[in-house]
Structure 1
Amino acid sequence: MTSTLTESPAVQRLEAALAAITAAGDEGRRIFTRVYPDTARAAAQASDLRRSAGKRLGPLDGRIVSIKDLFDVAGEATTAGSQLLQGAAPAAHDALVVSRLHAAGAVIIGKTNMTEFAFSGVGINPHYGTPGNALDPRRIPGGSSSGAGVSVARGMADIAIGSDTGGSVRIPSALNGLVGFKPTQARVPRDGAYPLSFTLDCVGPLCRSVADAAATDGVLAGTSDQPLPSRAVAGLRLGAPRGLLFSQTQDAVLAAVELALGQLATAGATLSNESLDDLLGEPFRLQEGGTLVAAEAAWIHKAGVATRPEAYDPIVLGRIRRGQTLDAATYVGIQQARAALLPALDARMAHLDALVLPTVPLLAPLIADVQDEDVFLRTNALLLRNPSVFNFFDLPVLSLPLPSQNGLAVGLMLVGKRGGDRELLALGAAVEALLRVT
């Protein structure tokens, strides 16, 4: 390898990321379950050769990317943050999104830790350890894409790929000061991703800018590299769904969100308070006796729970077993009711460009404070509350970082119209430019 190649941007950034993982010691091993230094170096060198020849493969060429531990990589077992799958057969093929990242020239540095089977928003993992929040390692990272968020926030990757069933991209983004994007579900294929919920699973990026989110979205979705349309804050029609999704919000979070709303209004956005609790509360009312996620997880894990229950995180096991109690008639009823609710919310949002609200209503709590199961479950429910509503309604959603409060991160959530993923990203870029956190 020549000195010129050694000094090239992709190789330099990769070596800095690998050094950061190594320097983190045990914490690095809690953030990543597997690191690929050799293949990553080869990919970075190839990218730099393309760059020097003026032949870039696109905006992700040479970018350092981490992938959540539920995406298949050919030749190795996909453990999905579990002990149960450590002896599973190696994957025969890369997940489709992994193949697309490789084809786009991305440098995949490793697999990141996660909540076992992606089944919580807190980010605790008793098998591989819990990565500490990037802003305060004593605090939770958010989940389920826990290592994903921390890997970007700590400079170990430029972009992380996570999954989002009830907020698992947006929660760690909000708690670690990142941009997180949940696309419309059908936009990004889930082939080769270990499932939690067939109905609600989505795949999206955690990164430092809306531009990176948009570029990654294009690669994951397999669309052509088209620039986002240009939008301005002035003239945007934004609705704040006051009520349920603003309730139980900590003062520091609410203050940051209200300041952002004021800045948007000053810049010319039209802000309205929207009364939507009759619709936004329906996912909770319909699923009081059991959730779609738990019921589908119970089917996915039927054999594992029956034969090796001791291999599961007890809290995850308990949530799966609750899904076993949901009868078929109730499950079908929830699905039918959901199908009717989607166009109802679309109609109520027709006069808006986006909804705007807190991504999560609290600052990251201390890891020590969520060890009790009851406290854990209450915290988990509150973390998932706002994000999960929009998985249920299958709308594209973006979380943007706001200025830190008491040294901790706050997220602002923008909810777009059905199928309007690129429009939401364009709108988000305008809002980001106004509220940019440096």
Structure 2
Amino acid sequence: MHKAAQLPDPDPHPRHHAVPPYLLMSMAACDGAWDASEGMREFIAPPPEPGEAEGPGAETRARIATRARRTLLLDQALLHDRATTATDLDRLIEPSGRLIRAICDAQGAETTPGTDARTEGLGPVADEDANRAFDGLGAVHAFLVEMLKLNSLDGAGLGLGLGGTVHYGLHYANAFWDGTQMVMGDGDGEIFESLTSSLSVIAHELGHGLLQHTTNLAYRGQSGALNESIADVLGALVEQFTAGQDAASASWLIGEGLFTDKVRGLGLRSMAAPGTAYDDPVLGRDPQPATMSGYVETAEDHGGVHLNSGIPNHAFYLFATALGGKAWETAGSLWFNVVAMRALPEDADFGTFAEQTLLQARRDHGAGSKVELALADAWDTVGVVPRVKDAEQG
């Protein structure tokens, strides 16, 4: 257990990035010419030794590091400058209530939305990133409507449209939800493919939009880790729903297909086995904990929101696989019913969320049901103790 960290006040309008800072920091430091902040140093990989087996050469390491530093600097600027984005969603309004999607092309600039790349009613275009982003918006919307009975991210059609920007920034190895739409970079070409390569990443970013309009969990500490985890759950479920997979056959990876073939890794995160998604000379080993015994106390990354999200992620995986069948039908429905009810406090911790899911299980399936017992066992396995926060504080 790490020393308790003093966390800053949560940003009321955070940008939720798909690629966690500790991973980008490992890339930025892989040439040995950059020193990470003290708080994250233990989570990044040391520079590869010269001649390390299967490791990249010095020229490649320098290129990876330069592009990662650019991404980190841009991410940091985005946290403090929301004026860089000027998205206009009025163009997405459709009086009939039909879903209208619009994908724009930033053409390497760091502003949005950019020029129109593909809009509703048009077939596929030459730009594969625009097509993948467009199809991803449709997949998420279909899942929300058909499986969760939600009309878009806000339950009211979100202006009856969904939008996104591709080709954001130069070698930008990240993606984010900007408060109105998703924004996708092209990757650095060494470690990351285009961020549109993964449907789970597209759905993850839209998951932050869903939370923004429902249970807007504060982006720090355990509530921030829940924010990241619920977005991961949506990412995994949309991918499984689209592929027609059941819980047993799914990969449970977030960001599968995002790494180039030069990387020893499967994805950004593994819900089935947090801490095993990658083990690479540049990226190091996936540092996510799977249980509370590995919970990370740090002031970096808003209190370790991308690290500690592995704990509720793993609880959901255990719950869904114990029930079997389609993960979205029972486990996913229960999870997002808790979110849609908007009963969670914005600063909910893991124990509070666990208790709310158990209450939902009793409401939906009855006390002592198979569903409740499987859920209780999942939370117990990851070491989260359900509790009523208000009662404890009182």
TM-score, normalisation: structure 1: 0.28
TM-score, normalisation: structure 2: 0.30
Larger strand percent: 1
